[in-house]
Structure 1
Amino acid sequence: MADARGAVPGLEVRALHAGYPGRPVVQDIDLTLPAGQVAAIVGPNGSGKSTLLRAIARLHRPESGTVHADGADIWSLGRRQAAHRVALLPQSPRAPEAVTVAGLVRYGRHPHQGLLRQWSREDEQAVRDALEATGTTDLAAERLDRLSGGQRQRCWLAMVLAQHTPVVLLDEPTSALDLGHAVDVLELVREVAATGRTVVMVQHDLAAAARYADTVIAMKNGRVIAQGVPRDTVDEALVKELYALDADILQAPGDASPVVVPRARRTDARPASALPSPSPAASAPASLTSAPSAATE
């Protein structure tokens, strides 16, 4: 559905309800996200973030509601046609054993293959472009399982880019990465959006979401409780509502993006005095109090 200026949103979700028999997970979701921007979904565990991504990607059928990607109703398309419009990188994806980086990225072209269309120069160029965009060209011949976590994540992103979809969904793309590799991935996400794609990522780091996303979407108990520009959306009240955490919100130098600084324990945290004390060393088994083993020398 076009907006007042006639532009078609990159992603539009209307009145979406999804879940499992007897257990609703996401309820009454409405989103309109433009092309060329990054949206970050934040919220506590179990709030429905991953289920929402799967419903958008046509992997989990909603009970009601619609999803339009680049103007097309995803659930009215076949699976292969839908994969021309939406790509999803799940959390902790698994690759075939001993696959090379180039082999992995070629999987991104699978939706474009068929009985009447085999591997082509266009596919090969898409793979080369994706490797170049993610800085993984030099890794093309390497086995994925021999790379560092940050390198592997860039390779998975290359596979998603090779799929050539206008909408890209990323479920916790910086999970288990150290700070340096996480920043590399988030900057790459910004570059992906700059090509005109709509990028939606689940992000547990609220400060990272505020810094790298154009829109923050806050979810709790399966519902969107806030959404908007980070500096207008991320505040003390939102942090308290989402995480039961008291915090101060500062402004980052340069772009003035919100920075969350916790200033109190969770309201349901146990006091330190309630934690058990360590057992006296004298009561430990002799093997634990003897000289270090060879493995630690």
Structure 2
Amino acid sequence: MELRVEQLTAGYPGHLAVRGVDLVVPSGQVVAVVGPNGCGKSTLLRCMARLHQPDSGRVFAGDADVWRLNQRAAAHRIALLPQSPQAPEAVTVAGLVRYGRHPHQGLFRQWSPDDERAVDRALRATGVTALGDRRLDQLSGGQRQRCWLAMALAQETPVLLLDEPTSALDIGHAVEVLDLVREIAAEGRTIVMVLHDLAAAARYADAVVAMRDGRVVAAGPPREIVDAALVRELYGIEAEILTASADGAPVVVPGVRASRSAPAG
């Protein structure tokens, strides 16, 4: 399902966080949104997920404007994994993943074999079936993040939004999670993820959207837009851009700070 954002503007009292953003994510593609702290990345994602009311503009999932849908209908199209999700105390992995089926429950629609199959599929897809009876708080950071992804997958939406899915993970677990993101997209889901690591975004995303001060300053395939000038504009540092021998992805090697002051955030 295609995800489309048209002239989206959103903010908070006294602060405009997103300014006239246009974005198109084709079905089955991975888009990484990058930029300095405070540039509007997470606000943009929250607007897409119907968690923050935009001041103007529209968000379409397929042919539907998500802000014209009721919350349950929107949750059948778009799932969001936030930055720092909080689980109920002592919840098991299987119990956590079952929360992903909440949008499918209702007064006349209780837990069903279809729900159980969706949970099983999500556990298998993320490689955590064997952890089903374990408590979430007993797992490593990488394992926990896989479990949170399983919960989002169990919602069975065609669009998946991930806000800093590798935050606080070491490089090994980060690669593990991003490899999983690519596998999920290969099955046809549309994914938008916020990343702080520009090099990871360049390697794992089909397209990179770079934001600064609430606006999109560059967008396109990583090999076309990730260069020293973009790094300087976003982060205020000089950088050398190398090419990975394995796949040709841009590799960002940070250097000294540029002459102008760094972006706020």
Relative to the length of structure 2, the TM-score reads 0.97
SS in 2 for 1:82: helix
Q: How many Å apart are 1:195 and its aligned residue? A: 1.1
Conserved? CA contact 2:232–2:258, under 8 Å? no
State whether structure 2 residue 68 is matched by structure 1 residue 94: no
Percent of residue pairs bearing the same amino acid type: 69
Within 5 Å, which residues of 2 pair with 1:1-297? 10-267=2-259
SS in 2 for 1:59: coil
Conserved? CA contact 1:10–1:197, under 8 Å? no
Q: How many Å apart are 1:54 and its aligned residue? A: 0.3
Relative to the length of structure 1, the TM-score reads 0.86
Q: How many Å apart are 1:254 and its aligned residue? A: 2.1
Q: How many Å apart are 1:255 and its aligned residue? A: 1.2
Unaligned 5+ segments in structure 1 are: 1-8, 270-297
Unaligned 5+ segments in structure 2 are: none
User: 1:274: which partner in 2?
Assistant: none
Q: Which has the higher strand share?
A: 2
Equivalenced residue count is 262
Q: How many Å apart are 1:112 and its aligned residue? A: 0.3
Larger Rg: 1
| Structure 1 runs, 4 residues or longer, greater than 4 Å off | none
CA distance in 1, matches of 2:43, 2:223: 27
Task: Report 1 or 2 for greater relative contact order, CA contacts < 8 Å, sequence distance ≥ 6.
Answer: 2
User: 1:288: which partner in 2?
Assistant: none
Q: How many Å apart are 1:259 and its aligned residue? A: 0.3
Q: Deviations over 1:7-38 (max 9, x none)?
A: xx610000100011332110101001101110
CA distance in 2, matches of 1:224, 1:18: 14
Please give the root-mean-square deviation of Cα atoms over the aligned residues, in Å: 1.3
CA distance in 2, matches of 1:177, 1:71: 36
CA distance in 2, matches of 1:97, 1:72: 37
Q: Deviations over 1:81-134 (max 9, x none)?
A: 111001000001100000000000000000000011100000000000000000
Structure 2 counterpart of 1:17, one-letter code: T
